[in-house]
Chain A
């Protein structure tokens, strides 16, 4: 990958990769570190990476692998330093829709915060497919390739995740 290709890659996929890093780490500083490491790893793997073929899922699988390798380090640091939770930041960032009343905005933010929290609490095997499916908009086939799982397993994990979330978010769902 040359400089221009790297720039193009960041331009096209940066936002999605960043969102995925934020969801995996739940912490701004670590998300930024993971985001940088992901692209630098992609540069390092330039001979193996055919950036024109599905770079989006390629970058996501690199992020996932680095995160798995570094998880211990992240977890250790979390215990010492504490974290600034992303969910709050994201909720703050959505206040720009002027047509809604303050109350409605607050209500929606609160709902979304609860949804993100419920997803974050899921076991990793359910949580990651949920991020890849709903946030990254990958198909179950693509997720299978990223996670090295048969498509059917991805589907059953998503099914289980939905079931768990439905239970966890019962109150919100009843309100809608």
Chain B
């Protein structure tokens, strides 16, 4: 037993992941993924930043005329991003213009405008579950407070300081409900030293009857240290002494556009997705040569077998039968070895084997062996009236293989 514990410990220590992949490797993946995406624009047409640069250069001549006020208007930001559909949406009466700035460290962050609706952009975004038609678009500007220009997208320093822009919803934990889970994306470019970003997510207008925020923080992912979520009131606030940018604006959406029913359905759906955790996809995707082996077929065949069926079609290995009393945690532990050197050991929670008060044979069984012509064994678990559990090991008859 001591050896077993030592071995477990040794294996865990020696095999625990130690090394991080190099950063260049991760950057390479992101770059190659972007290239692949821009080559396969079937229905997802997010504009890569490099392409936007060309548009920005073309338009630069007309900028001085516009620059009566410091920032580009949201429709202009969309126009330069070559999204005429979105530019038109920002000119419509549904668009909300804002011009509010906050400063943190060396950065001034300005929220310029927001618009929501169906099919506004001429580029279609797809999530994992299909095309996302109903979207919210937010335009922000980031500049250096010392007046130096933000690095251009073609500059080698571009992307050294990353920002995460996301709408947040009062009452919903921002660690779970943010631009990433709400199928977000963004397009950005630098114009006159100011970094403009159009962030898009699923339409948050349905939540307009409660407080909506726009968070702009350092990093490329949501950082729980940057904001505080009060679970009682649902309020989201900035962390005062956060080391980095953690701007938080109110998104003044039109309350009349709120749709509580849709909002609840959206939250429910997202929660289900986040908590889903089953791996159906893995099963479908990773088809291997092992999926059709004998053990799989046997497992399917015997899944409804009762004790009588085992008696009829299998040989009970009596010497391996064990009666176990669950410990204080309700667990049973067993270990045995067959004559052919194969064996099994494990710890099982009796709650997972039997329903409350259930006696008799559990539906749960272990099928093992069957490789390269070796015998197939099945472990069954039967609970007695006194709470003890009997492990029986059967060898399946060759005719079933």
Q: Which residues of A contact B (CB under 8 A)?
A: 1-8, 10-11, 14-16, 18-19, 22-23, 32, 35-36, 39-40, 43-54, 57-58, 61-62, 64-65, 68, 89-90, 93-94, 111-113, 115-116, 119, 125, 130-131, 134-135, 140, 142, 145-153, 155-156, 159-160, 162-163, 165-166, 169, 172-173, 176
Contacts and interface: CB of A to CB of B under 8 A. Distances in A.
B282 A155 contact: no
B283 interface: yes
B36 A15 contact: no
A36 B29 contact: yes
Contacts of B290: 147-149
Contacts of B21: 14-15, 18, 32, 35
A173 B181 CA distance: 47
Nearest to A109: B14
Interface of B: 3-4, 6-7, 10-22, 25-26, 28-30, 32-34, 36-37, 46, 125, 127-129, 179-181, 183-186, 220-221, 273-274, 276-288, 290-291, 293, 295-296, 299, 341-346, 365-371, 377-379
Contacts of A49: 128, 281, 285
Residue among B14, B220, B369 with the highest chain A CB neighbour number at 10 A: B14
B379 A53 contact: no
A97 to B, nearest CB: 12
A159 B344 contact: yes
Given A58-B279, A93-B18, A115-B14, A45 B285 contact: yes
A37 B6 CA distance: 36
Given A150-B366, A156-B342, A36 B14 contact: no
A3 B46 CA distance: 10
A68 B288 contact: yes
Contact of A162 (B4, B181, B365): B4
Nearest to A119: B15
Contacts of B6: 173, 176
Please list the 5 inter-chain residue pairs (A to B) with the smallest Cβ-Cβ separation, ordered nearest first: A19-B17, A152-B366, A152-B368, A115-B14, A61-B286
B282 A115 contact: no
Contacts of B15: 23, 115-116, 119, 130-131, 134-135
A112 B13 contact: yes
Given A135-B16, A145-B279, A159-B345, A3 B286 contact: no
Nearest to B16: A135
A159 B16 contact: no
Given A54-B278, A134-B12, A156-B344, A40 B29 contact: yes
A11 B344 contact: no
Contacts of B18: 19, 90, 93-94
Given A35-B25, A39-B33, A58-B282, A151 B366 contact: yes
